[in-house]
Amino acid sequence: MNKEILTNERLGEQYIRVVHPSGLTILLCPMPDFATTYALFGTNYGSVDNCFKTDPQAEFTKLPDGIAHFLEHKLFESEDGDAFSLFAETGASANAYTSFDKTCYLFSCTDAFIPSLKALLTFVQAPYFTQQTVEKEQGIIGQEIRMYEDSPGWQVTFQLLEALYHDNPVKVDIAGTVESIAQIDADLLYRCYHTFYNLSNMVLSIAGKFDPDEALAVIEENLKPAEPKPIFFPPYTEPTEPVTSFAQREMDVSMPLFQLGFKIPPEEEPAAFLRQQYELEMLHELLAGTTSSFYEEMLRRGIINVNFCSEVFAGRGFLTSMFGGESEDPAALQQALLARIQEVREKGLDPADFQCAKNAMYGRMVRGLNDVENVATAMLNARMSGVELFDTVEIAASVTLEDVERRLCQLTPDVMALSVIRPRSRG
């Protein structure tokens, strides 16, 4: 196995990267002063990966929306029971999640790390699907989908994504729809599993109290290698402009919810894309963060409340600058934010404020290195984004005031949409 020690002199930190002959990337960060260990086994497969082929000459296969999430649920089942029973024997806490661009299986433990690691490697590499269990799961996930359909906070976000994106599958709920998951069968699950759960498409990340040599020995013993499988995705060009600039619906809320978003083309090169996100996060803080004059004015005028927040919503192939919360007059907030952006575009950002925002981001990243769960997750996320953990810190440290000011040109009315959930009409 190709074993490297990755170090960062600025931080005085290091971790181990191993590329297994199977193609699996293994990231190990021993933290002996901590009591817990956290491990994630993830694949570069999320809800946006809904069309693929493995042979360049073949036709693309269009997948039902929600199949990555469905597969995550089903993988916990085996012919002998479910994976949670394996972790019940070790005392570890296990879970999993599917996002737009990845699926991860994880556990946290204070003892019995080795048997817990064996359990993780065992169930993720042992798919077991039957048509009977698939049909049972369709009913369970259907209930989950309906629950989210009744969640105003969830719906205001996806309503915004539907308003912004024409073709990008990010506009579709991660769990899919009741209609789309009805198209899933056992054969299709196996095909997706053997395509996307190929070890060359996966990352295993571990941080905390453990012996890396012992962990590597267990990993070597429990991997089921397969030949690396190339995956091809269809090219698509997402139009610059939104589908619509405004979308609203009524639900059972006491005050209108809103999400305001700017649709931004993501940089193609991984490090440049990450830098773009950091620059926008700093810009958000300077434009409308809780210490900004804009935030204080909007609070004073009653246009927003303390639930107002912003997010750089980004992943493989998409990037949206989002501002959301509760407001009796979302349109007034929209106009005020556009005016604030124009003001900053004309006058520039305050250098001292920029340095504070940059220091705050850098400080959060450094503090995160003292958290076992954060380190394991950050190593995996960075690797799946095409960089390494220490690259993320260095990229953030290199952002300049001029970099952030240049991002203002991407927050324009022609790429913006407003999503509103209003209280139901009475009478």
Distance from first CA to last CA of the chain, Å, rounded? 70
Cβ(314)–Cβ(168) below 8 Å:
no
**Active-site residue among 4, 13, 72, 388?**
72
Separation of alpha carbons 416 and 162, rounded Å: 12
Burial category of 402 from C-beta neighbours within 10 Å (exposed 0-12, middle 13-18, buried 19 and up):
exposed
Q: How far apart are CA 409 and CA 276, in angstroms?
A: 13
Q: What crossing angle do the helices spanning 389-398 and 372-384 adopt, rounded to 10°?
A: 80
Cβ(73)–Cβ(140) under 8 Å?
yes
Give 414's strand partners.
Answer: none
* Cα–Cα distances in angstroms (integers) from residue 246 to residues 16, 71, 158, 263, 415, in the given order: 48, 34, 13, 13, 11
Q: Report how far residue 192's alpha carbon sits from residue 97's, in angstroms, rounded to the nearest whole number.
A: 17
Burial of 414 (0-12, 13-18, 19+ CB in 10 A): exposed
Residue 89 is a catalytic residue: no
DSSP string computed for 272-308? HHHHHHHHHHHHHHHHHSTTSHHHHHHHHTTS--TT-
Give the angle subtended at the CA of 312 by the CAs of 306 and 314, to the nearest 5°. 145
- Cβ–Cβ < 8 Å for 124, 155: no
Measured in whole angstroms, the distance separating CA 25 from the mean position of its chain's CA atoms is 19
Active site residues: 72
